């Protein structure tokens, strides 16, 4: 669409930007779950030469290989959890297209139903058009945003100011309110 005059006072409204913004959804992204360490397999009891003990030793080798893989996965998940905690300190708000937000919410719900995670990570924010009535900004009760959210909001405000300055300096449309 093109720019349209909405009032005689030379105010222009970009309907393309308005349409784009109407299709954006704000989601709260909660931290990943704190991982639990794997359980180490128990050593078999008995003595060498006993067939049951020898069989248990062979089975133990397979269990130890699985345990080693689970430890590597635990280490990766632990690093991810600690990195999130250090970088964001709690929930952050992300902006997605409505179709992507719908997919994120559906995948999150399916992961809980399948037991891959114990609780949902994504919640619709009250900043989303039509969801301003949500208590606690859309976060679950008792949950507060992390320090990364405040930094993100400050960055977004700085980007908006920089864009407003750039629009004002435009040689064709500069000076008009957007």
Query: Tens digit of pLDDT for each residue in 34-62?
Result: 999 999 999 888 888 888 888 888 899 99
Domain assignment of residue 60, yes or no? yes
Place of tokens 């989601």: 27
Task: Answer yes or no: is pLDDT of 14 > 70.
Answer: no
Over the chain, what is the mean pLDDT?
85
Domain assignment of residue 97, yes or no? yes
pTM of the predicted protein model: 0.70
6: Cβ contacts below 8 Å, ≥ 6 apart: 12, 13
Rounded Cα distance, 137 and 123, in Å = 10
Domain assignment of residue 59, yes or no? yes
Domain assignment of residue 43, yes or no? yes
**Domain limits for position 105:** 3-168
Domain assignment of residue 124, yes or no? yes
Tokens of 170: 């435009």
Give the total number of structural domains in the chain: 1
**In terms of Cα–Cα distance, which of 106, 136, 133 is closest to 122?**
106
**Residue 81 host element (H or E):** helix 51-87
Domain assignment of residue 173, yes or no? no
Rounded Cα distance, 141 and 137, in Å = 10
């Amino acid at each position: 669409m093109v720019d349209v005059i909405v009032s005689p006072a030379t105010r222009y409204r970009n309907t393309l930007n308005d349409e784009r913004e109407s299709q954006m959804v704000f989601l709260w992204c909660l931290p990943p779950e704190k991982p639990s360490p794997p359980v180490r397999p128990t050593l078999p009891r008995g003595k060498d030469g006993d067939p049951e003990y020898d069989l248990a030793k062979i089975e133990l080798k397979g269990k130890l290989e699985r345990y080693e893989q689970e430890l590597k996965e635990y280490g990766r998940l632990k690093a991810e959890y600690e990195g999130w905690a250090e970088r964001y300190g709690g929930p952050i708000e992300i902006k997605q297209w409505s179709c992507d937000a719908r997919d994120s919410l559906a995948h999150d719900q399916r992961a809980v139903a399948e037991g891959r995670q114990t609780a949902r990570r994504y919640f619709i924010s009250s900043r989303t058009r039509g969801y301003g009535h949500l208590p606690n900004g859309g976060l679950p009760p008792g949950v507060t945003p992390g320090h990364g959210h405040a930094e993100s909001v400050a960055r977004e405000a700085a980007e908006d100011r920089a864009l407003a300055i750039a629009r004002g300096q435009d040689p064709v449309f500069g000076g008009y309110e957007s």
